[in-house]
Structure 1
Amino acid sequence: MSWLFVMVVLLLGGAVLPSPVGAAGTTGSTAVENMVFSIPANTFCDQSHMVELSLNITNLSKSEQGIKLELMKTDGTAFAAAGTTYNGIKSDLVPGASVKIAAGHTGTYHFTFGGQTSNCDDRPFVGTLTTTGTGEAQLVASGFVSSSLYSVPVIINGGMVWNATSAADNTTPPTPAPTPVPINQPVDGCSVTQTNSLIHAMSANQDVYGTATSSSIDTVWNTQPFRAFDNSCSPFSTQNGEIKGWLAYEFKAAKTVTSYSLQMKQGDTQYGYVQSPKAWVFEAYDGKAWTTLDTRSGITGWTTTKANVYTIDNKQAYNKYRIRFLENNGGNLVCISEMGMMGY
């Protein structure tokens, strides 16, 4: 075996490929479903040394074909970055996605590593080409890796045409998020507007879903904390004479609250508005201390027709949340009809 033959075998991944036959230039080999190839990307790469990867895949079939390019990093995980397009460079292919290529057309992929992006640890070293249409397809592909030190070809099937057996695209489409099932069906005009509140309508301060607590209640009217979560006009309030205090809800299982709603006291034209909160802090308990998620002040825009909704930037799941009232709109206590907590 000559040294030249050995070199060719190494370049082609250790497989001896058959010679081209026929006018069409096909290899005559058994059709393959997945064409795997190596990408020689192990070179200098940093903010001063860029590495360019470029791939071309041509559909020589007589009909449109779905082509899927998959790239993998050294640890076997997928590299799925969309390609770059500029100054005549095109990127039609998206790694991991099936892309339609018309008969006789070429799909391209280009990406730059290093330079100012300095993404050198996130490079593909292996690629796979798969057809996702029906029937058989004829493909030819090539590419190169270019760096400040050298430029080398990406050898795919020795540069020869191959017959690809098409298989249905097995990529499982993402499951759409289910429409939230209302857990708080409206009872009356004071029900929470957001029927997908994470808090199930309560009939006592504790149930199988969680526990409601507060700093105080109005003992004359028995305004228990669960009244803020019972989805009815029966209100919660602090003790008469207290314009500061807190109302809390603790979930049995941790939830990520991304917004909350407050509805003012209903059916009390004399005291409903002035007893509504004007300033407060919305907090979560991490097991050791309270974390501030939202702070509001100067809130005077209360109506009897709808709840006020406040969106917060929270991505952490907590078991316990509370609203800590700091000021009301002039009454002798703080009172609300309902409070909702939305999220996941």
Structure 2
Amino acid sequence: MTEKIARLLVAGSASIHTWRFLSGIAPFVDELYLACNGEVPADKRPANLKGELPVDFSLKALSTAGRLKSWIAEVKPDVVHVHQANSVAWHARRALAGSSIPMLLTAWGSDVLLLPDQNPLMRAMVRGNLKAAAAITSDSLYMAAKIRELAGDCRIALLNYGIDALPPAPVVGAKKKQLLSCRLHKPLYRIDAILNGWAEVEDGGRFADWNLVVAASGGETENLKRQAASLGLKRVEFAGFVDSATLGRLYEESRVFVSVPRSDATSISLLEAMGHGCLPLLSNLPANGEWAIDGLNGVIAEDVGRLGPELCRAMALAEDDEALGRIAEMNRGLVEAKALHRANMAGFADLIGELAAQKV
């Protein structure tokens, strides 16, 4: 890209993903504007964020599209970049109806992989949102295929937010015999299945010198703690929500990263874990298969309901320093080639610049 984007309006929910995108795209844009249902934290706010519109993105907020339309007319952005193909995009596409300003739509995962299956109305909304976009970004080939299935012929670019930087090469021999779970405590991520599997590990005795760290938090946290107590687990630590530096240390000292959601696209936590030299133990999802091959650079659990044997298989592989060293080298190479934040943000900027140049 040769020229900076003059004005970019971003519409997205209040989320760390939105904040990371804003900071990443800021160097490529003269003026940023944000329509959001929350305020950008002071330490995440780019210097060139010139204006914010607080909005309600719920489906019941019928006035949101009109407010967005008026603000777009005032800001006159080159492109409107919408994050998530759910109600956020529904409001944005109605606001842009009849406008020559192109809409770039970034799908996050559940909005394409789960929402359309809720009912025919949600499916029609997501399809309409996708069809209204001048271009769509997906962070996995699997999600791109789902987008194509829903929207038919459309322009799709494979881009992810990536990790900020490749961590220093891990000292494999210094890693603890430790597994790390750091996905949110929501039913989607099946942390309860990890605890059930870990109960089998503790009962078995083969890996008595290993421990499990359950980081993050969410609506299921107290239920998960009660479950661990009822199972009599002795080697589980609930670390709670941790800052990025603490999370980096947990990745650095852990040998196995376990993440078994029922649906997912490319998760940043997986990329971070691979960059830190952890062996990934993952549920058998197509997007995970784009990053890990069972027995080569990860372990894929076919049946999350029987996770105990898969945890044991992953630990047996990861306690071998030589094997884990080879896996770490391979996974770090993948992350360096495909998942660094700056390079992928440049890809977003190129796409936004192309769309801006095509604006009538």
Bigger Cα Rg: 1
TM-score, length of structure 2 as denominator length = 0.18
Q: Give the structure with the larger strand fraction.
A: 1
TM-score, length of structure 1 as denominator length = 0.19
